[in-house]
């Protein structure tokens, strides 16, 4: 049983560019959440998708957007990249909207230069 898979694993982008990160949830899970983990810090909640809709959003600007597909996979898009967007982006999947247990992917390391 594959766990949560994220792609790509590493990415280097230039300031002002746009990036798309992808996540496939654990088999049987229908909820996907995205987190940003800056170096030396704990993960910060970006948003959560359930039933193809954004259900809750953290304190992130509109440059951060997402999508969930009918097969429950998800994308995170970041526009107009800033140097401060450099971080590890983590995807977590769970069943329903009750986070009694969330499974995390290995993350995508984004570097903005």
Which residue is it, tokens 């909207």? 97
* Among positions 92, 93, 110, 112, the unique one binding other proteins when judged by CB under 8 A: 92
* Among positions 7, 27, 99, 111, the unique one binding other proteins when judged by CB under 8 A: 99
* Lookup: tokens for 110: 């984004």
The closest of 92, 104, 43 to 66, measured between CA atoms, is 92
Which residues contact residue 8 at a Cβ distance below 8 angstroms, ignoring those fewer than 6 apart?
21, 108
From residue 47 to residue 86, the character string flagging contacts with other proteins as x (rule: CB under 8 A) and all else as - is -x-x----xx-x----------------------------
Helix intervals (H) in the chain: none
Binding-site ranges for other proteins (CB under 8 A): 4, 33, 35, 40-45, 48, 50, 55-56, 58, 90, 92, 94, 97-107
């Amino acid at each position: 049983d594959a766990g949560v898979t994220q792609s790509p694993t590493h990415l280097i982008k230039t300031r002002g560019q746009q990036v798309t990160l992808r996540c496939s949830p654990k088999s049987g899970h229908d909820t996907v959440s995205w987190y940003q983990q800056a170096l030396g810090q704990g993960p910060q909640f970006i948003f959560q998708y359930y039933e193809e809709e954004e259900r809750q959003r953290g304190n992130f600007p509109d440059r951060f957007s997402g999508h969930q597909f009918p097969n429950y996979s998800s994308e995170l898009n970041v526009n107009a990249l800033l140097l401060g967007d450099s971080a590890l982006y983590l995807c977590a999947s769970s069943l329903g909207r009750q986070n009694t247990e969330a499974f995390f992917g290995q993350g995508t390391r984004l570097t903005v230069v």
